[in-house]
A and B are shown apart, each in its own frame.
Chain A
Amino acid sequence: MFANSKSINTTRTQEYFKFVFRLKETRLFLFLLVMVAIMAVLRPDTFFTSQNLFNILRQVSLITIVAVSQTYVIISGGIDLSVGFSLGLCGIIISYLLDAGFNPVLSILAGITASVLIGFVNSLVITLVKLPPFIVTIGMAYIARGLAFVITEGFTIRVTNQFVSGIANEYVGPIPVMTIIMLVIVVIFSYILSSTPFGMKTKAVGGNIVAARLSGINTTRHRILVHTLGGLLCGIAGLLMIGRLNAGNPNAGMNYDVDSIAATVVGGTSMTGGEGSILGTLLGAVLLGVIRNALVLLKVSMYWQTVVAGSIILLVCSVDNLTNKDRK
Chain B
Amino acid sequence: MNGEIILRMKNISKSFPGVQALKNVSFDLKKGEVHALVGENGAGKSTLMKVLGGVHLADEGEIEINGVPVEITSPRDALDHNISVIHQEFNLVPTLNVYENVFLGKELIKKTTRSIDRKLMREKTKELLESLGLTIIGTNYDIPVRNLSVAQQQLVEIAKALFNETSILVMDEPTSVLTSKETEILFELINKFKEEGMAIVYISHRLEEVITISDRITVLRDGELITTMDNSDKNVSKDEIVAHMIGRNIEDYYPDRSADKINDDVVLEVKNLTAKGVFDNVSFNVRKGEILGFAGLVGAGRTEIMKAIFGDHHYNSGEVILDGVSKRIRSTTEAIKEGIVLVPEDRKQEGLVLLMTLADNISLPNTDKITSLGTVRRRKKTSLANEFVEKLTIRPPMINRPIQNFSGGNQQKTVIAKWLATNPKLIILDEPTRGVDVGAKSEIYSLVNDLTKAGVGIVFVSSELPELLGVCDRILVVHEGRITGEFRKEEATEEKILRAAAGMEN
* Interface of A toward B, CB cutoff 8 Å: 1, 3-4, 195-197, 199-201, 203-204, 207-208, 210-218, 274-275, 326, 328
The answer to the question of B227 belonging to the interface, with a C-beta cut-off of 8 Å to chain A, is no
The answer to the question of B400 belonging to the interface, with a C-beta cut-off of 8 Å to chain A, is yes
Chain B hits for A200, CB < 8 A:
360, 363-364, 367, 376
* Interface of B toward A, CB cutoff 8 Å: 17, 310, 312, 331-333, 335-336, 342, 344, 349-356, 360, 363-365, 367-368, 371, 374-376, 378, 382, 397-400, 402, 405, 418
Residue among A203, A208, A216, A326 with the highest chain B CB neighbour number at 10 A: A216
Chain B hits for A216, CB < 8 A:
332-333, 335-336, 364-365
A4-B398, A207-B356 known; 11 new pairs, CB 8 Å cut-off, are: A195-B376, A197-B367, A208-B354, A213-B312, A214-B344, A215-B364, A216-B364, A217-B332, A218-B333, A274-B356, A328-B17
Ordered nearest first, which 10 A-B pairs have the shortest CB separation?
A197-B367, A207-B353, A216-B336, A208-B353, A274-B355, A207-B355, A215-B364, A216-B365, A215-B365, A216-B333
Bound Cα distance A213, B344 (Å): 12
Chain A hits for B312, CB < 8 A:
213-214
Bound Cα distance A211, B348 (Å): 8
Contact A218:B331 (CB < 8 A) given known A197-B376, A328-B17: yes
Q: Are A210 and B349 in contact (CB under 8 A)?
A: yes
Q: Are A211 and B349 in contact (CB under 8 A)?
A: yes
Bound Cα distance A200, B360 (Å): 8
Chain B hits for A211, CB < 8 A:
349-353
Bound Cα distance A170, B349 (Å): 51
Nearest neighbor of B344 in chain A, beta-carbon distance: A214
Contact A208:B17 (CB < 8 A) given known A195-B376, A197-B371, A214-B344: no
Bound Cα distance A4, B378 (Å): 12
Chain A hits for B344, CB < 8 A:
214
Chain B hits for A3, CB < 8 A:
378, 382, 400
Q: Are A196 and B354 in contact (CB under 8 A)?
A: no
Contact A275:B336 (CB < 8 A) given known A3-B400, A197-B371, A214-B342: no
**Can you report 13 A-B residue pairs in the complex whose CB atoms are below 8 A from each other?**
A195-B376, A199-B376, A200-B364, A207-B354, A211-B350, A211-B353, A212-B364, A214-B332, A216-B332, A217-B364, A217-B365, A218-B331, A274-B356
Chain A hits for B368, CB < 8 A:
197
Nearest neighbor of B402 in chain A, beta-carbon distance: A326
Bound Cα distance A269, B176 (Å): 44
Tell me the smallest distance from the CB of A18 to a CB of chain B, in Å: 13
Chain A hits for B310, CB < 8 A:
214
Chain A hits for B332, CB < 8 A:
213-217
Q: Are A201 and B353 in contact (CB under 8 A)?
A: no
Nearest neighbor of A2 in chain B, beta-carbon distance: B400
Tell me the smallest distance from the CB of B498 to a CB of chain A, in Å: 30
Bound Cα distance A207, B402 (Å): 12
Bound Cα distance A200, B378 (Å): 12
Tell me the smallest distance from the CB of A220 to a CB of chain B, in Å: 9
Tell me the smallest distance from the CB of A228 to a CB of chain B, in Å: 19
Chain B hits for A212, CB < 8 A:
353, 364
Bound Cα distance A195, B350 (Å): 24
Tell me the smallest distance from the CB of A273 to a CB of chain B, in Å: 9
Q: Are A196 and B352 in contact (CB under 8 A)?
A: no
Tell me the smallest distance from the CB of A319 to a CB of chain B, in Å: 20
Tell me the smallest distance from the CB of A202 to a CB of chain B, in Å: 11
Q: Are A274 and B367 in contact (CB under 8 A)?
A: no
Tell me the smallest distance from the CB of A2 to a CB of chain B, in Å: 9
Tell me the smallest distance from the CB of B466 to a CB of chain A, in Å: 28
Bound Cα distance A214, B354 (Å): 14
Chain A hits for B335, CB < 8 A:
216
Chain B hits for A196, CB < 8 A:
371, 374-376
Q: Are B351 and A214 in contact (CB under 8 A)?
A: yes
